[in-house]
Amino acid sequence: MKTIKVAALSLALFSHLALADVSPLTVVKDYMSAWNAHDSAKAAQYLANDVVYYDAAAGTPVKGKNNAEKDVIGAFIKAVPDLTWKMTSKPVYDHDTIAFRWEFSGKNSGEWAGAPATNNPIKFEGVSYITVNNGKITWQGDYYDSKKLDEELKPQAK
C-alpha cells in the first residue's frame, strides 16, 4: 500500500511539473492547432475551468470553459467549418501573457447566431491577448472589427 501511495504522489508531482514546463507560447500554438483541426472539445482542453473569454463579436466576456467552448469556439467552428486561424506577427510575451496579430478566414457554410449560412468567404484580422497559468488559458481577449465580420456574413444580393 505504501508503494501505491508513493507512486500516486510521484505521478501527481511529475504531472504538475510537466504542466509547469509547458511554455505559454506552446499552449497557445497547440490551442490554435485544435481550432484549425475544427475540434472545439480539443481546443477547450487548453482552457482553465474558470476561463474568461472576451470576443469582440460576443461583446461581453464569456465565463467558464464550457460556455467558451459552446458560445465562442463552437459557434465559430459551426459557422465556418473550414476556418483557418493563423498568427501573422511574431508573438510578444511576458511571463504568462502572450499578444499576437492574426488572420481568420474561411467560408460561412454553417449557421451563425441563428442565421442560416450565406456561403460567403470571410477574412478578417485581429489581435489576441492570452494569459496562461499552469498550462491552461485563464483569460483570452480577441479584438477585431466585428462590424466588418457582420458585413461579410450578410447574404449577397442576387
Per-residue model confidence as pLDDT tens for the chain (158 residues): 565 554 455 555 444 444 456 899 999 999 999 999 999 999 999 999 999 999 998 889 999 999 999 999 999 999 999 999 999 999 999 999 999 999 999 999 999 888 999 999 999 999 999 999 999 999 999 999 988 888 888 887 76
Please say whether the dihedral angle defined by the alpha carbons of residues 71, 74, 79 and 84, taken in this order, is positive or negative. Answer: positive
Strands 92-94 and 121-133: unpaired
User: Scanning the structure block, which residue is given the C-alpha cell 475540434?
Assistant: 39
Instruction: Give pLDDT tens digits for 75-111.
Output: 999 999 999 999 999 999 999 999 999 999 999 999 9
Determine the 3-state secondary structure of 147 from DSSP: helix
Rounded to two decimals, the pTM is 0.83
